[in-house]
Amino acid sequence: MAILARKPDQAGRMLSADVEEFIRIAIQRGELRPGERLGSARQLAKQWKTSYGAVRQSLETLAAKGIVVRRPRAGTFVSADPVSSPSEGGARNIIGLLIPDIRMPDCGLIARHLQDAAHTAHLEVLISSTDNERERYDQSILRHLKAGVGGLVLVSPQHARISLEALVEIQKSGIPVANYARAMEVVNWPTVQTDVFQAVYLPIRHLCDLGRKKLAFLSYPLSGQIGVEMHYGLYRALADSGLATENITEKVIPADLYLNGWSDNRVLRQLFTEWLNEHRDVDAICCMHDHIAAAVLGVLAERGVRVPDDIAVTGHGSMPEAFGIAPGDLTTVDTCIDEAMHQVVHLLLNPPNCDEDDARFVAIQPRLVIGRSTVSTGGSAAS
């Protein structure tokens, strides 16, 4: 382990602002050699008589720039090919973000919040819109790797979207990777996702507490573990409210009605109009996307149905305004994307030991934001 002479100020203390510069200069002078292990953040803080937080942040910044490498349970090491600064051609301070379609409001919100979180950590974000095409996804990944980015964020990755060859190339590169919204079972990359059980439980329980008895659950296709957890949240909320499975009806909406038509919901509105004709006894509708809720509210308005008096409506996704819903009009589930993106950046800077299952998942707790679509006097927020 390297022992560095500290650089004191006149009071004999290590200046917090100089920690990052001091380590960088030590590497340039050869006092720290490639592969050499530094002390822990606590050891360095004690040695230099500065704060643990200042040293930890400096090490995270240096890791993001490719100057040092942080290995779980092993320590911090000088990079084998340290990049002294971004101006010298390195891209280690850049995060690659791969998303389905930048035009989709969901993806735009993710990109914005990731940029905010990255900026706080002195990082930049390189965004690639893949249009859900496997070949384009693979090409974007390989270009990111060739550019030498310091980490990758994969939004809702699915096995069909990434070839095994691309997965192998990512693993060979050794760069940190974090998934958002969907995990990949074939690799041990950490995943940040909303607690999907709570994302369903909260709005359904809210509707039941309001005295609604004939509920509808409208969602895009739910599969795998996410589908299991969402359905558990749905039926657990009913059971906790003293209602039976007969009190809920489900409608699965084709995914392409959002992926290929988020800006025009005429087809979705027609589908819902036909569905409502067959379910006239419904008094509450839980929509698992604000896009669905926008179509539902539009059709109900056309039919002269009073919301929430006749039918209460909830959405999901933190973005009702993106689909033409006025602020405060919709009760929706806030998925707290801002918090999720800060967790993503933290995982890239501090890769967990993914041999442990608990380290692979970070669950973001959603919150229910109550609006006028369920409570006439709405506008407040509840956890």
Residue 356 pLDDT? 55
Task: State whether 163 and 103 are in the same domain.
Answer: yes
Structural domain includes residue 347: no
CA distances from 169 to 173, 175, 227, 331, 351 (A): 6, 10, 30, 44, 18
Domain termination residue (choose one: 189, 224, 242): 189
Tell me how far apart the alpha carbons of residues 364 and 267 are, in angstroms, rounded to a whole number. Answer: 33
Domain termination residue (choose one: 157, 189, 221): 189
**334 SS3 class:** strand
Domain termination residue (choose one: 189, 208, 227): 189
Per the structure, the complete domain to which residue 80 belongs is given by 16-84
Tell me how far apart the alpha carbons of residues 45 and 64 are, in angstroms, rounded to a whole number. Answer: 20
Task: State whether 230 and 324 are in the same domain.
Answer: yes
Residue 183 pLDDT? 79
CATH number of domain containing 315: 3.40.50.2300
Low-confidence spans in the chain with pLDDT less than 70: 1-18, 81-91, 157-160, 353-359, 377-383
Structure tokens at 58: 């400096």
Number of domains in the chain: 3
Task: State whether 143 and 237 are in the same domain.
Answer: no
Residues with Cβ within 8 Å of residue 336, at least 6 apart in sequence:
194, 318, 364, 365, 366, 367
Task: State whether 282 and 378 are in the same domain.
Answer: yes
Residue 311 pLDDT? 98
- Buried-state track 122-140, b at ≥16 Cβ within 10 A, e below 16: ebebbbbbbebeeeebbeb
Structural domain includes residue 42: yes
Task: State whether 300 and 205 are in the same domain.
Answer: yes
Query: What does the pLDDT look like over 10-20, one tens digit per residue?
Result: 344 444 446 77
Residue 377 pLDDT? 63
Structural domain includes residue 28: yes
